[in-house]
Amino acid sequence: MSLSIEVIVSEAMPGSMLRGICDLCTEAYGEDFSVYLEFLGSGVHVISRLDGAIVSHAMWVARVLESGGRSALRTAYVEAVATKPSHQRQGYASAILSRLAAEIRDYDLGALSPSNPAFYARLGWEPWRGRLFIRTDNGLEPTPDESVMILRLPRTPADLDLNADLSAEWRPGELW
């Protein structure tokens, strides 16, 4: 068995590959992912294949996070991390997230909303401890039920305070 990892932008992805990713995410999350992927829009996908079949996926979209009055942080926001249930706990998600981390090095920050914080912590992601907000036309809307983890990158400010407030722009679908 041979594992391969590829990185592909949404616009270059054939429809059959997008359907394969949607099917994988639907199976892994136990819910229809087609609408969710539409909300995410354009991004960059990291896909692992085992003998040609997609077994694991993650993607990032560009977002702007703001923290503690500092300038905007150009952020690679990670979405749709999924592994085919029959292939979980074999290192495939860790492998694609490692590749993803290498690919986003020119961003200020990596961020995600974790479904399994311990898994991401093992890979170097840190929990954001401050309050979370979404920026809207009416100001900052608190999101106290959400959680975010960040990945420090070469361009991450050394003095980034994980206890400060953090905000992201509003978007349809899942806010974080």
The domain that contains 118 carries what CATH number?
A: 3.40.630.30
Is residue 139 domain-resident? yes
Give residue 58's domain range: 3-169
Separation between Cα atoms, residue 44 and residue 58, nearest integer Å: 9
pLDDT at 174: 82
Total domains in the chain come to 1
Is residue 176 domain-resident? no
Positive or negative, the CA dihedral 154, 92, 8, 11 is negative
pLDDT at 176: 94
Q: Which of 14, 24, 28, 32 is nearest to 48 (CA)?
A: 24
pLDDT at 52: 86
Is residue 174 domain-resident? no
List per-block mean pLDDT (blocks of 10 residues) for the chain, which spans 176 residues. Answer: 89 90 93 78 92 94 91 95 93 95 98 96 98 96 96 96 96 87
For the segment 32-67, what is each residue's pLDDT rounded down to a tens digit? 888 777 777 789 999 999 988 999 999 999 999 999
pLDDT at 142: 97
Is residue 81 domain-resident? yes
Is residue 26 domain-resident? yes
Q: Which residues contact 165 (CB under 8 A, 6 or more apart)?
A: 67, 68, 130, 131, 132, 133
Is residue 140 domain-resident? yes
pLDDT at 70: 78
pLDDT at 154: 98
